[in-house]
Structure 1
Amino acid sequence: MPQATTLLLRALLVFTAVFACSTRANAAAYVVKHCAELEGQSVPASVIGLPTRGATILSASVVAAAAPKNRNGEYCRVVGVIKAELDTTPDIRFEVNLPALWNGRALQMGGGGYNGSIVSGTEPAAFAPYASPLSTGYATFGSDSGHVGNSGRADFAMNDEAVVNFGYGHLKKTHDVALALIMMGYGRKPEQTYFAGGSTGGREAFTVIERYPDDYDGVIANAPAINFSGVRLMGVKVGQAAYGTPGGTLGPVQQKRVFETVLHECDGLDGVVDGIVSNVEACRKHEPQIIAQLRCASGQRPSLRDSCLSEAQLATLEVLRDGFTLPYELAYGVTKFYGYNVFQGVDFSSGLGLGNSPVLTQPLTFDADGYLFTQGDSYMKYFVTHDPRFNTLGFDVDHPGIYKSRLVDLSSTVGAMNPDISEFLAHGGKLITMHGLADEVISPNQTIAFYQSLVAKYGQSIVDSFMRLYMVPGFQHGNGVFIPAWDELGALDRWVTMNIAPETLLGTDIASATNGRTRPLCRYPGYPKYLGRGNLNNASSFRCENP
């Protein structure tokens, strides 16, 4: 048996024996007292569920409760690396934080974008906005997913092992190393282990449900990029409509006018004019007159000073609205990507929008060329073709030729569209998903469609027994006219540990212009409707109503 394996197993046996009859407080005190002893230790590859060359602890130190800027109480901070199989592949950098006042639970944190930096759980998060999970007693851990740097270029994807790590490998590898360290620190496994993340982290959340269902008791998956290949190919199609068609780009003034026109038509459909399009389904019926108001009059041509839209510009928006259906299948039989609520309240002029340049820039940037196309272009260059000079505008998404098998393989490696979650159900796991109906990056309609596929497969009562879906009006991809703060982690924990299933919840707006107003967060398909009386800024003046 290798020496590292012998040392770890010996440590686990000693710590387990020491704490078999000890209190939680004694175990927590031990982890702080002996924190520094973890430095230099190894976690052997034999205890990691996917192939690696083991993990090494680079540093382990106590962060004092009174340390500058520390709001987490006393904890042991452990940083290390998980060695890749190949020398040419970057290691996975990780961090595990073991609080002195441990609540017996562990939380793995998902990343964002292309990851590239260590996620640790030492700061408040979207799903736990009022206090960091670490400060409330969770042992927290996360990684950089196996590469350094989160840029739109995604050049790490030239390395196939790094792509596997980004897609799913880092999740299992980091989990197993962290659980070994928790055992070493406290002498026992967590009573509950959770996963939480948004966007890429939301895709990772569904990934662990589908691939590693027995590892997690509860999962939070917000704005999940589950159809990763779909959203990147959507970006390609949007870029081709905008830049591959003469006059297809929309300027910021025009993008803003789309949003303002939709507000004028649809804001009041929930019973009150408050800057939020809440009744999205009713708003869809107003789409023809919205488009008519946006269209340039006969003979009129849009300019920088004129916010009307040409037929080419409207066609770009319609590509966004309609999504696409492929003539071939990606992994798990996926052929469709569902489009965005372009004419139901998405503000593409704010946040991660459609760009502001009428011609392509080199290199592409989010601000100039739009987030969706810039990311789609990087996907084609680095994930699919491994050719940084590839001409994405000339790529035929419907007939990808020699790249078809690569697209199919990637949709399995980086994606979470497998509807078979029977093992997570058997494990008794719980899932809370939240998505903004005005999301301009990850289509909320894709999340709704996946939820509906689960209902079709398992039945509504079964889905209700393990999943809650909250679709939030006015919320975009981290920004928007309504940005909810709510204790999602607390709701999940109560569901798992006390069997208190979440129903209508309270969201507090943290958007700068309307900070502090509250709204009910309604279970899908409900939306908040004004009662016709009461303070517009209080959730009590609204009720959840189905469209």
Structure 2
Amino acid sequence: MRSRGRRGRVIGDSRAAIRFLGAILWLAAHPALAAPNEAPLALRCAEFAGAVLPPELIALPTAGAQIESAAMIGATAPGNQQGGEYCRITGRIKGLTPTTPDIRFDLNLPRRWNGRALQIGGGGYNGVVVSGTGVMPFSPNRAPLAQGYATFGDDSGHVGDSSLAVFGLVDEAVVNFGYAHLKKTHDAVLALIARAYGRPPQRMYFAGGSTGGREGYTVMQRYPDDYDGVIANSPALNFSGVRLLGVKLGRAEYAAPGGFIPPLLLEHVYQRTLAVCDRLDGAADGIVSDVAACREHEAEIIESLRCAGRAPSHDDCLTDAQLSTLLVMRDGLSLPYKLAWDVTGYSGYNIFQGAHLTGMLGLGHQPERLPMPTFFANGYLFAQGDGYLRYFVARDASFDSLRFDPQHPGKYRAQLIALSQTIGAMNTDLTRYIERGGKLITLHGLADEVISPNQTIAYYDALVDRFGSDQVNGFMRLYMVPGFQHGSGAFIPSVDLLSALDNWVTHGASPETLTAVDIAAATNGRSRPLCRYPLFPRYSGKGNLNLASSFVCAEP
């Protein structure tokens, strides 16, 4: 028999009902936590400290969860910028084996609850607990917690900064990072929320970017009954693909003679692209908005950059070897074998359409490859790909990634395929999520230098091929942002996606063209329309270039 969940929704998995019964039995066995629901939140908050949640409350296998701390944070407490009291709970979810790191999580319960919960994703390789207390990235409004959302996040099941991949040596930790931490944390937190407020959330949302964007697509694909809406920005959907491309790029930079490109030359590439393409949208504003029109000039741009008989200089032309490095990134990766969900490669980047490769997340700044590559010295994509090969694929810290050919992985092929199933969100079967009425908003920068915007577009196109444009339009909004990189760029959008998502889910008000305010330091305050893909903002020919009202959303 199917049970009814939040808002009377039908939950098809009978295991949900079993877990709900388990929660009731757990509360019955803990009289302190079964106090009347009318008790003040402060009293209920303190009761959680030291509590143990049994494994039965979590759908995936664990050894249960331990609440480490639970305390009310006063409205006037130092560092509390939320505008009100909230209960802060910290805890750990135990792995099945002693060598598996705990999944550490934080949960914030506002005294004035709006009946909604928001799970927040991480970034890179995670490793740091997402506190859930701050403002969402690129959002102009108050923090979700201050708006009344119960917020929570975790560290995905290991400790370390977002560049460290050492946990790849531990099988259960890899599964946790790939997808399991999302479900385990969700289920543990849901029981705590239901106890604290006397009822489960009316709406459960997920929001994240980059790795957190991949996590957003992951929960729709793997746990569609658990979420009403998802914000998944700059999503690392094809996680294995981007890591393998990073290795191929590193080989071009550091294994091929003359392949390294100094930052001054990378800046020259960017400035040449702007000179040709900036005005194609009608506005000289430092943003390449008409990417399709710019792509028609690509051959011209490349030839103007080529040394072609001229003596190579450090800042005005590129050798064939250096151009080959850029073309690796532009062309992406094509594989002669299939990863999970029939993936055969990774889409290339908009190298000659506005991507800026001189920053911390761009290409390398040093001509020699370090024994342990770093983001700044050897480039973000290569450093991350190198770590992925060492710890996830070869499981050998001394492995030399420059000797590895992603197109011919040899004995590592089976491991690559298995990993792409565990860590990746390329499955286009969102049938259940769509049937339940789930909504999705994705924002991605067309100048992203870390996660290819063309991979996100390719996934969107695959959804249209599978479900048809009408059905995709009924549940998804895709906004591709000109000039926006991976958290930086010529245009950094600030827009309230959470309110747009909640209005769509709750009131059926589907978002169309939105207005984004630029928070880049040099151009802070100007605005542009945030156009639904495939439209882009074109200057109308009159009006202030700094105002969104002077632009229209145009067909490419």
Q: What TM-score bracket applies, with the shorter chain setting the length?
A: over 0.9
Alpha carbons 1:30, 1:186 under 8 Å: kept? no
Deviation by residue 1:87-136 (Cα, 9 ceiling, x = unmatched): 00100000111000000000000000111111122010125342111000
Output the CA distance in 1 between the equivalents of 2:30 and 2:545: 57
Pick from 43, 53, 62 the counterpart of residue 53 of structure 2.
43
Over residues 431-468 of structure 1, what are the superposed CA-to-partner deviations in whole Å (9 max), with x where a residue is unaligned?
00000000000000000000000000000000000000
1:344-493 maps to which residues of 2 (within 5 A)? 344-493=353-502
Match of 1:137 in 2: 148
Which residue in 2 is equivalent to 1:159? 170
Q: Which runs of 5+ in 2 are unaligned?
A: 1-21
Q: Which residue of 2 aligns with 1:24?
A: none
**Deviation at 1:15?**
7.5
Indicate how the Cα distance of structure 1 residues 270 and 62 shifts in structure 2: closer, same or farther if over 3 A, else same: same
Whether the aligned pair in 1 keeps the contact of 2:119 and 2:206 (CA below 8 Å) is: yes
Task: Provide Cα deviations, 1:47-68, integer angstroms capped at 9, x if missing partner.
Answer: 1010000001000000000111
DSSP-derived class of the 1:70 partner: coil
Aligned match for 2:260, one of 245, 249, 271: 249
Counterpart in the other structure of 2:66:
56
Distance apart, 1:507 and its partner CA:
0.2
On the 8 A contact 1:16/1:188 being kept in 2, the answer is no
d(CA) in 1 for partners of 2:31, 2:353: 59
Q: Are positions 1:89 and 2:107 aligned together?
A: no
Give the gaps of 5 or more residues in structure 1.
20-26
Match of 1:222 in 2: 233
Q: Deviations over 1:237-285 (max 9, x none)?
A: 1011111110001000011011100000000010010000000000000
Query: Which stretch of the first structure deviates more once superposed, 5-14 or 321-330?
Result: 5-14
Deviation at 1:32, TM superposition (A): 2.4
Instruction: Give, in angstroms, the shift of residue 33 of structure 1.
Output: 2.9
Deviation larger for 30-39 or 529-538: 30-39
DSSP 3-state at the match of 1:318: helix
SS in 2 for 1:135: coil
State how far apart, in whole Å, the 2-side matches of 1:41 and 1:289 are: 66
Contact kept in structure 1, 2:23 and 2:191, CA below 8 Å = no
Q: Distance in 2 between matches of 1:529 and 1:99?
A: 42
- 2:251 matches 1:240: yes
3-state SS of paired residue (2:470): helix
> Alpha-carbon deviations, 1:275-328, whole Å to 9, x = none?
00000000000001111111114141233xx33100000000001000121100
**Matches of 1:220 and 1:6 in 2, distance apart?**
31
**Structure 2 partner of 1:263:** 274
Counting aligned pairs with the same residue, the percent is: 59
SS in 1 for 2:416: helix
1:9 aligned to 2:19? no
Which range moves more in the overlay, 418-427 or 439-448? Answer: 418-427
Counterpart mapping for 1:308-327 below 5 A: 308-327=317-336
Report the 3-state secondary structure (helix = DSSP H, G, I; strand = E; otherwise coil) of the residue aligned with 2:440: strand
| Structure 1 residue 18, shift from structure 2 partner | 4.3
Check if 1:117 corresponds to 2:128: yes
Question: Is the contact between residue 33 and residue 47 of structure 2 (CA under 8 Å) also seen in structure 1?
Answer: no
Q: 2:207 is matched with which residue?
A: 196
> What does residue 495 of structure 1 align with?
504
**Deviation of the 1:151 alpha carbon:** 4.4
Looking at structure 1, the residues matched to 386 and 232 of structure 2 have their Cα atoms a distance apart, in angstroms, of 26
CA contact (8 A) 1:227 1:415 kept: yes
- Equivalent AA in structure 2 for residue 102 of structure 1: W
Per-residue deviation, 1:85 = 0.6
- In 2, the alpha carbon distance for the partners of 1:14 and 1:58 equals 16
The answer to whether the 8 A contact 1:495-1:502 is kept is yes
Give the superposition deviation at 1:336: 2.0
CA contact (8 A) 1:11 1:184 kept: no
Q: Which amino acid aligns with 1:10?
A: A
Distance in 1 (CA, whole Å) between partners of 2:468 and 2:58 is 35
Q: Is the 8 A contact 1:98 1:182 kept in 2?
A: yes
| Change beyond 3 A, Cα 1:129–1:45 | farther
C-alpha separation in 1, matches of 2:399 and 2:32? 56
Q: Any conservation in 1 of the 2:360–2:376 contact (CA below 8 Å)?
A: no
- Count of residue pairs brought into register by the alignment: 534
Matched, 1:78 2:96: no
CA contact 2:105–2:153 (8 Å) conserved in 1: yes
CA distance in 2, matches of 1:336, 1:298: 34
Measure, in 2, the Cα distance between the counterparts of 1:238 and 1:364.
Answer: 13
Structure 1 506/42 Cα, relative in aligned 2: closer, same or farther at 3 Å?
Answer: same
Q: What SS does the aligned partner of 2:329 have? A: helix
* Aligned position for 2:18: none
Q: Which residue of 1 aligns with 2:186?
A: 175
In structure 1, give the amino acid aligned to 2:68.
Answer: L
Task: Show the counterpart of 1:128.
Answer: 139
Residue 106 of structure 2 contacts residue 132 of structure 2 at CA under 8 Å; is this kept in 1? no
Match of 2:159 in 1: 148
How far off is 1:7 after superposition? Answer: 6.9
Mark the CA change 1:11 to 1:184 in structure 2 (over 3 Å): closer, same or farther.
farther
Match of 1:532 in 2: 541
Contact preservation (8 Å) 2:128, 2:162: no
Distance 1:271 1:529 in 2: 6
**Aligned-partner residue type, residue 518 of structure 2:** D
Q: CA deviation at 1:398?
A: 1.1
The 1:286/1:11 distance shift into structure 2, 3 A limit, reads farther
Is 2:49 aligned against 1:31? no
Query: Match of 1:134, SS?
Result: coil
Inter-partner Cα distance in structure 2 for 1:383 and 1:76: 38
Post-superposition offset of 1:137: 0.2
**Counterpart AA for 2:85:** E
- Residue 5 of structure 1 deviates from its aligned partner by 7.3
2:68, 2:91 within 8 Å by CA — same for their partners in 1?
yes
Residue type of the partner of 1:525? P
Alignment match, 2:519: 510
Q: Distance in 1 between matches of 2:338 and 2:30?
A: 47
